[in-house]
């Protein structure tokens, strides 16, 4: 599949849950096209009937294409590769926007477009996630893993329906900003998508992640031995983004921990910005959500695994923290 291109095309991914306002934002952004440029849009509808394409300009200077059926983020990547290659080859755009379906996981699409094959064709710009500000008070909506995945992929979040937000929505937005402090540097509020291109046009910055076995497993290998690839739980990871360090652990669901020992461990940690955790404990499933002003913990729903994430601005003794957490384990080992 050959594509001839003289230079890589600035490419924006506009993601967000169903009905968040992605197409409305896209309509506004397309108004900033210089007269001497040609802009292209690749849209993805999960079903077989496309509607959003009719809402965008399709006259001189614009090229709008739809990819119907399935999700270009998580199904076979071949249809997306063919559609994108044809769009670049036939339209020769100066700028490209990709709007995945609201059911898509954008991280997989970003991973695809940052592979070496595409790097000389597309110049990734910051990923934009649109969220409906008037629904932030809906806890069932906010807890969906897809919603969280779309947020974590973003460098820019556009909060739509800002004028319809109530006090509870505002509080949830403040909590979101704190929760994603290490990942999302830019938050914008909008009504009717009134955002300018320069407000979202930043170079894409990927998250540097190092996924590795637990420290106690690493100790079983000599310094010159290669670590095994992590394919299943348990594992430890470290991410670096926006000047922050994020250290996390995911542990098997069946592992159970002493609640009060865990609470003591977390309360004794120092120099952190945020701590989030979900654990299977002798008090039932418990969630921990610490920020410098509040140490919140409460009963939670059963999760698919035990997990904890610590956000900090300086490296810490992560091995000691892991040892402390594992010592709090109480199930048969």
From first to last of the 333 residues of the chain, give the pLDDT tens digit.
444 445 899 999 999 988 899 989 998 999 999 999 999 999 876 433 334 444 455 667 888 888 765 555 554 467 778 888 899 999 999 999 999 887 777 888 888 888 888 888 999 999 999 999 999 999 887 777 788 888 988 999 999 999 999 999 999 999 999 888 888 999 999 999 999 999 999 999 877 677 889 998 888 888 788 877 787 899 999 988 778 899 999 999 999 999 999 999 999 999 999 999 999 999 999 999 998 888 999 999 899 899 999 999 988 999 999 999 999 999 987
Total count of domains within the chain: 2
Q: Domain check: are 116 and 214 in the same one?
A: no
Q: Give domain status of residue 254, yes or no.
A: yes
CATH number at residue 299: 3.30.1220
* pLDDT computed for residue 55 by the predictor: 47
Q: Give domain status of residue 3, yes or no.
A: no
Q: Domain check: are 190 and 212 in the same one?
A: no
Q: CB under 8 Å to 75, separation ≥6 — which residues?
A: none
* pLDDT computed for residue 73 by the predictor: 55
Q: Domain check: are 190 and 225 in the same one?
A: no
Q: What are phi and psi of 227, to 5 degrees?
A: -70, 145
Half-sphere exposure of 237 (CA within 13 A, CB side): 20
Exposed / middle / buried, residue 134 (Cβ in 10 Å: 0-12, 13-18, 19+): middle
Q: Domain check: are 212 and 123 in the same one?
A: no
Q: Can you tell me the distance from the alpha carbon of 170 to that of 259, in angstroms, rounded to the nearest whole number?
A: 32
| Strands (E) located in the chain | 9-16, 39-45, 62-68, 95-99, 122-124, 128-132, 156-160, 186-189, 208-212, 235-241, 244-251, 274-281, 284-291, 294-299, 306-312
Residue with tokens 């955002």: 195
Q: Domain check: are 134 and 113 in the same one?
A: yes
Domain final residue pick, 177, 199, 221 = 199
- How is 162-197 classified by DSSP, letter by letter? GGG--HHHHHHHHHHHHHTTTT--EEEE-STT---G
Q: Domain check: are 147 and 279 in the same one?
A: no
Q: Give domain status of residue 15, yes or no.
A: yes
Q: Can you tell me the distance from the alpha carbon of 143 to that of 128, in angstroms, rounded to the nearest whole number?
A: 20
Q: Give domain status of residue 2, yes or no.
A: no
* pLDDT computed for residue 211 by the predictor: 82
Q: Domain check: are 114 and 180 in the same one?
A: yes
Q: Domain check: are 75 and 130 in the same one?
A: yes
Q: Domain check: are 234 and 318 in the same one?
A: yes
Domain range holding 227?
Answer: 208-327
Q: Give domain status of residue 332, yes or no.
A: no
Domain final residue pick, 167, 199, 231 = 199
Q: Domain check: are 35 and 74 in the same one?
A: yes
Q: Give domain status of residue 213, yes or no.
A: yes
Q: Give domain status of residue 284, yes or no.
A: yes
CATH number at residue 60: 3.40.50.300
* pLDDT computed for residue 94 by the predictor: 96
Domain final residue pick, 199, 228, 262 = 199
Q: Domain check: are 191 and 246 in the same one?
A: no
**Cis before 183? omega within 30:** no
Q: Domain check: are 81 and 126 in the same one?
A: yes
* Token pair belonging to 201: 């046009």
Q: Give domain status of residue 170, yes or no.
A: yes
């Amino acid at each position: 599949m050959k594509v001839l291109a003289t230079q890589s095309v600035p490419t924006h991914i506009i993601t967000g849950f169903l009905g968040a306002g992605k197409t409305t934002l896209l309509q506004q952004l397309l108004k900033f096209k210089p007269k001497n440029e040609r802009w292209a849009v690749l849209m993805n509808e999960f079903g077989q009937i496309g509607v959003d394409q009719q809402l965008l300009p399709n006259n001189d200077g614009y090229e709008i294409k739809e990819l119907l059926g399935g999700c270009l983020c998580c199904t076979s990547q071949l249809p997306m590769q063919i559609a994108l290659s044809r769009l670049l080859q036939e339209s020769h755009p100066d700028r490209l926007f990709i709007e995945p379906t609201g059911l898509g996981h954008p991280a997989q699409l970003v991973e695809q477009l940052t592979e070496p094959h595409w790097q000389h064709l597309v110049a990734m710009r910051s990923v934009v996630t649109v969220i409906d500000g008037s629904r932030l008070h809906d806890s069932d909506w906010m807890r969906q893993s897809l919603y969280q995945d779309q947020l974590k992929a973003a460098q820019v979040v556009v909060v739509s329906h800002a004028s319809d937000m109530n006090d509870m929505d505002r509080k949830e937005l403040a909590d979101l900003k704190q929760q994603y402090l290490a990942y999302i540097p830019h938050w914008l509020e909008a009504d009717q998508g009134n955002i300018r291109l320069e407000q979202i046009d930043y170079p894409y910055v990927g998250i540097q992640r190092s996924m590795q076995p637990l420290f106690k497993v690493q100790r079983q290998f000599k310094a010159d031995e290669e670590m095994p690839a992590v394919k299943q739980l348990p594992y430890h990871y470290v991410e670096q983004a926006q000047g922050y360090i994020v250290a996390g652990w995911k542990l098997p669901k069946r592992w159970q921990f002493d609640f009060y020992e865990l609470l003591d461990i977390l309360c004794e940690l120092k120099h952190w910005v945020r701590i989030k955790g979900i654990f299977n404990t002798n008090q039932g499933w418990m969630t921990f959500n610490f920020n410098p002003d509040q140490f919140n913990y409460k009963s939670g729903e059963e999760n698919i695994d035990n997990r904890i994430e610590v956000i900090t601005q300086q490296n810490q003794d992560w091995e000691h923290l892991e040892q402390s957490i594992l010592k709090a384990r109480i199930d048969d080992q």
